[in-house]
Amino acid sequence: MMSKLSKPTLWFLGSSVAIYVVLQILVSTGLLNSFWDTIIRIGAVMAIVSIGLNLIYGFNGQFSLGQWGFYAIGAYAAADVTYRWTVNKSADGLVILFLATALSGASILWLHQRIAKVRGIDPLSAFTIYLTSTIAWSALAFWVGITATPAVTALLNMLPAAIALQIVFIVAVLFSAILAAEISYLFGLPILSLGSDYFGIATLGFTVIVKILLDNSDTLLGFVEMKGARGMIGIPKITTLFWVFFFLMVVIVLVRNLLRSSYGRAIISVREDEIAAKAMGIDVAEYKIVAFVLGSFLAGLAGGLYAHINGFLHPNTFNFIKSFDPMIIIVFGGLGSITGTIFASFAWALVLEGILRIFLPQGFETWRFVVYPLLLLVIMLLRPKGIFGDYEIPFLRQVLPKPRHPEKEKIEAEKIAEVQP
Amino acid sequence: MNTSTNSTFFQTVIQKRWLGKAFLLLLTALAVWRIATALMADPLLFLQQVVNGLQLGFVYALIALGYTMVYGIVRLINFAHGDVFMVGSFVSFYSITRFQLHLWPTSVFPAMSENLSNVIGVLTVIVVAMIACALLAIVIERVAYKPLRNAPRISALITAIGVSFFLEYFAALDFVFSANFITYKRPIEVVTWAIGANGITQLSGDAPPEGTILLSNIALIIIVTSILLVVALQFIVHKTRIGKAMRTVAYDKQTARLMGINADAVISTTFAIGAALAGAAGVLYAIAFSQIFFVMGILPGLKAFVAAVLGGIGSLPGALLGALIMGQAEVLSAAYISTPLRDAIAFSILIVVLLVRPTGLFGEPEREKA
C-alpha cells in the first residue's frame, strides 16, 4: 500500500501531519494562546476560500468577485442549523437544509442531463427551468422537513450530546457548502456568458445583494435568530484545529487530483485560450460552470467552518470590500499556484489579524489599515506576479500525460526547435 | 403526427428563447406595474421622487464619468476613485471652515451683489477641490499604476484596492481628517421653492403647500454644475487635441505611441480629469447631504461604478445615462418597494441589463486585449 504512494506525496502528507501535530501540541499545552490558535484557524479557512477562488480565477480565468457572497451563504446556513440544534433543541434546520439541498441538487442533475441533450438552448431559458424546479423542490422539502423533524430530533437525542453536535456540525457544514454550490450554479448559468469584467461586476453585485439580504435577515427573510444587522450570536464554537486542518487537507488533495485529471486540464485550457479550447472539442461553457460551482462549494465549506470559530457572525464581515481579500490572497500567492495560495492565506491572517493588531506601537493602533495597504502596494510593485509566481511544491505540480511515443516526440520537438531558433 | 407537432413547438420555444424572455418579461412587468400604480396613486409625490432621483443621479454621473474614462483608456477598474471623491468633500470642508474660501468675493469686493458672490464662492470651493483631487490622482497614477502597466491587469486592480484602503484609513487618522462623522458646513443657505399650479413660491414655513413639488437651490446647483461639467467633458474629449489623444490612446496605445503621442502623459491627464470630476461630485454630495465621513466614498463610488457598467463602461453618454438610471432606481425603490433593499434592487437591475445587453447599454462588443 505504502509503496504505491510517490515520494512527493509522502513528503506532503508527512509534513502536513507533522505540522498539524506540532501545532496541536502547542495549542493544547497553552504555548500558543487562543488568540494565535484563532488566527491559524482563520488562515486555514481563508486558504479554503482562496483555493476555491484560485480554481475559478487562477485556473479557469473567470474574474469572480462573488466568492465572498457564497462564503456568507455557507456561514449563515451552517450557523443557523447548529444554532437551531443547540439553542432551540430542534433539528428542523438540519432536516430542511438536508432535504432542500438534496432534492434540488438531484433535480438540477436530472435536468442537466436532459437539458444537455437539447441543442441551442440559451442559458436564460435553462436558468428559468432550473429556478422553477428548485423552488418547487425546496417548497416540498420544507413541507416534508417540518413533518419529519420530531423523528430526527428524537433519533439524534438518543446519541450522546457531544457526538450528536459533531454530526449536526459536519452535516451542516457540508450541506451549506452544497447549498452555496447550487446557488452558484443557478446564478452562474446565465452570468457566465458575460465577458470577464462584466462577469466580475455581476458577481460583485451578487455579493452586495447577499450582504443586504443578511442585513435584513430577521425582517425580510424571516430568520429571527440571525438578528439582521445586529449580528448573530450564540453559534456553538466547535470548529477545532483538527477540523480546519482535516478539511484543508481534503480540499488540497481533491483540488490537486482534479487539476491533474482530464477535467483539470480542460479547466486550465479554458483559461489559456477559449477559442483554441473550443476547437479541441472542449465544452467551454460546461467547464466554466464546473469550476465556478466547485469554487463556490469551497467558499460555502469555508463559510460553514468560519461561522463556528468565533461563534459570532455579522453581515459587515461579508461586506463587498472584504470580498477582495481572497482576490488579494490569490494574486499575492500567485495565480494558478495552490502552494502560493496556502502560504499567502496564512501570511495574510498572521499579518493582518495578528502582527498588525499586536505589534503596532502604542498610539499607532489606528495605523493597522494604513500599514496593510502600504505592504500590499510594496509587494505588488516588487512582485507583480505574486510571491510564488506559478511555483508549486512537487506534490501539487501539474503533470502532463506522457507522450505515447516519447522518442518520436523528442525528435519532432528537436526538429521544431531547429526551425525556430 | 401529434408527437412531431409537439417537438416542433418545443423547438420553437428553444430557438426563440421564449422561456428566458418570459422570465425577463415577468420581472419587467412587475417593475412597470409598481411604477404605474405609484404614478396613479400620487403623481406629484412620484414627480418629487423623480426630482430627488435626478439630484442623486447627477452626482453619480460625475463619479461614473471618471470610472468610465479611466477604464476606457487603461482597462483598469480604479477602485480608489470613490475615495478621491471622499477627499474632494474633505478638502472643500477644510477650505470652507479653516480658510473661509467661500467668503472671499464678499471680503474682496464688498460691493458685489450677494447672490453673485455666493455663486462665485461656491464655484471657488468646487474648483479648489477639483484641483486637489486632480493632483492626488496624478500622484496615485504615478506611484501605484504606472509601474504595473505591463504587468497582468489584476496586479493594478489589487494596487487600486490598496490605494483605496490607504486613502480611507489615512484620512481616518486624527491628524489628517477624522474617523468620526463630520457635519458639513454648507457654503450657502438652503432655499426651497414650492412649484405648483399657482406658480413658484419660496418656502418659508415648515409645511409645504398642497399640490406642489419642492425644489431646493442645492438640487439646482447640483444639476446645473453637473450638466456644465458633462458638457465641458464632452467638449474636451471631442474637440480638443488632448481629447483626440485620449481617444487615440484608448483605441490603441501602441499605435498612438508610434504616432508621436505621449501615452503616459495622456493617461495621467485622463486620471486627473476623472478625479477632478469626482472632486466636484464630492463637494456637491457633501452640500446635498451635509455629512461627511472617511468611508463615505465607498458606496457612492460603487454605485457610480455600477452606473458606468450599466451604461457600457468606456462610453461617456452611457455613464451619464447609467447614473441617471441608478439615481432613479435607488430613490424610487426606496420610496415604493423597500428602503433596505434599494441597493439590492439597483444591483439586480444591473444584472438583468447585463443579461439582455452583455456589454451595457452603450457598450461596444468585447474586444480581446492582451
Query: Can you give the pLDDT at residue B369?
Result: 41
Enclosing domain of residue A83: 46-320
DSSP for A215-275, please give it.
HTTTTTS--GGG-GGG-EE-------HHHHHHHHHHHHHHHHHHHHSHHHHHHHHHHH-HH
Q: Grade residue A56 by pLDDT with cuts at 50, 70 and 90.
A: very high
Helix (H, G, I), strand (E, B) or coil at B183: strand
Matching residue, cell 484563532: A38
Percentage of chain A surpassing pLDDT 90? 46
* Least Cα separation, residue B119 to chain A (angstroms): 38
Q: A196: nearest CA in chain B?
A: B366
Reading the block at residue B60, the C-alpha cell is: 453619480
For chain B, say whether A201 makes contact (Cβ under 8 Å).
yes
Angle, vertex CA A374, rays to CA B173 and CA B263, nearest 5: 115
Closest to B346 in 3D by CA, of B309, B297, B306, B312: B306
Rounded to whole angstroms, the Cα distance separating A116 from A104 reads 17
For chain B, say whether A381 makes contact (Cβ under 8 Å).
yes
Query: Can you give the pLDDT at residue A244?
Result: 93
Other beta carbons within 10 angstroms of residue A122's beta carbon come to 18
Most confident option among A27-36, A115-124, A353-362: A27-36
In a domain, A350, yes or no: no
Q: What is the residue extent of each domain of chain B?
A: 47-356
Helix (H, G, I), strand (E, B) or coil at B328: helix
Of B23, B154, B360, nearest to A124 by CB-CB distance is B23
Q: Do A370 and B173 touch (CB under 8 A)?
A: yes
Of B14, B24, B165, nearest to A372 by CB-CB distance is B165
Rounded to whole angstroms, the Cα distance separating A323 from A299 reads 11
For chain B, say whether A111 makes contact (Cβ under 8 Å).
no
For chain B, say whether A310 makes contact (Cβ under 8 Å).
no
Q: Grade residue A246 by pLDDT with cuts at 50, 70 and 90.
A: very high
For chain B, say whether A122 makes contact (Cβ under 8 Å).
yes
For chain B, say whether A151 makes contact (Cβ under 8 Å).
no
Which segment of A16-20, A160-164, A303-307, B211-215 scores lowest on mean pLDDT?
A: B211-215
ipTM confidence score: 0.88
Of B14, B75, B305, nearest to A120 by CB-CB distance is B14
How many CA atoms lie within 13 Å of B77's alpha carbon, on the beta-carbon side? 23
Q: Which helix (H) or strand (E) holds B39?
A: helix B18-41
Query: Can you give the pLDDT at residue B206?
Result: 65
Q: Do A121 and B152 touch (CB under 8 A)?
A: no
Matching residue, cell 468560519: A306
In a domain, A306, yes or no: yes
* pLDDT greater than 80 at residue A158: yes
SS3 content of chain B, % helix, strand, coil (to 5): 70, 5, 25
How many domains, in total, are found in chain A? 1
Q: Do B159 and A376 touch (CB under 8 A)?
A: yes
In a domain, A174, yes or no: yes
For chain B, say whether A209 makes contact (Cβ under 8 Å).
yes
Average pLDDT value over all residues in chain A: 88
pTM of the model: 0.90
Query: Can you give the pLDDT at residue A418?
Result: 64
- Each of the 370 residues of chain B gets a pLDDT tens digit; together they read 455 556 777 778 777 788 888 888 998 898 889 888 988 888 888 888 999 999 999 999 999 999 999 988 888 888 899 999 999 999 999 999 888 887 888 788 887 787 788 888 888 999 999 999 999 999 999 999 999 888 888 888 889 999 999 999 898 888 888 888 888 888 887 888 888 777 777 776 666 677 778 888 888 888 998 899 989 999 999 999 999 999 999 888 889 999 999 999 999 999 999 999 999 999 999 998 888 888 898 989 999 999 999 998 888 889 999 999 999 999 998 888 888 888 898 899 899 888 888 888 887 765 544 3
Query: Can you give the pLDDT at residue B370?
Result: 34
Matching residue, cell 461596444: B364
Rounded to whole angstroms, the Cα distance separating A289 from A109 reads 13
Query: Can you give the pLDDT at residue B357?
Result: 86
DSSP for B185-203, please give it.
--SS---EEEEETTEEEE-
C-beta of residue A58 within 8 angstroms of C-beta of residue A67:
no
Q: Do A220 and B298 touch (CB under 8 A)?
A: no
- What fold, for B47-356? ABC transporter involved in vitamin B12 uptake, BtuC (1.10.3470)
Rounded to whole angstroms, the Cα distance separating B48 from B250 reads 40
Percentage of chain A surpassing pLDDT 70? 94
